[in-house]
């Protein structure tokens, strides 16, 4: 559920329609709609594809609320994948493209 809500929230923040996100991600609009309706179990490949399309990094923290979220890229973030250690063993995975 957190993933579906995160996709919807980030797309809405950017002011994009589901069709625009689908075009940017290279997938059918029906796929975006299914994702946003919690109809898809996300794979890492799907998460990375959507992060690129949404011009975002992402964070997964199963102990947090929400457990998944997209975040706006920071100017200083390098291109490519990176992670940094966080408190008590959680990791912040960022995908910056």
Q: Give residue limits of the domains in the chain.
A: 2-96
Which pLDDT value is given to residue 83? 44
- Distance from the Cα of residue 65 to its chain's centroid: 15
Q: pTM for the whole thing?
A: 0.72
Which pLDDT value is given to residue 39? 81
| pLDDT string in tens for the chain (97-residue length) | 689 999 999 999 999 999 999 999 999 999 999 999 998 889 999 999 999 999 999 988 888 787 898 988 876 555 444 444 444 444 454 444 3
CA of 92: how far to CAs of 26, 31, 39, 45, 70, in Å? 26, 27, 25, 17, 11
Continuous H helices in the chain: 2-14, 18-25, 29-36, 44-53
Domain 2-96 listed as CATH 1.10.10.10: no
Q: CB–CB of 1/65 below 8 Å?
A: no
């Amino acid at each position: 559920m957190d993933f579906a809500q995160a996709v919807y929230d980030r797309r809405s923040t950017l002011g994009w329609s589901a069709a625009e996100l689908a075009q940017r991600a290279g997938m059918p609009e029906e796929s975006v709609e299914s994702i946003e309706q919690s109809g898809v179990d996300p794979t890492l490949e799907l998460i990375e594809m959507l992060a690129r399309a949404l011009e975002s990094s992402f964070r997964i923290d199963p102990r947090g609320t929400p457990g998944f979220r997209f975040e706006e890229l920071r100017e200083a973030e390098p291109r490519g994948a990176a992670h940094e250690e966080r408190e008590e063993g959680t990791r912040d995975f960022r995908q910056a493209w």
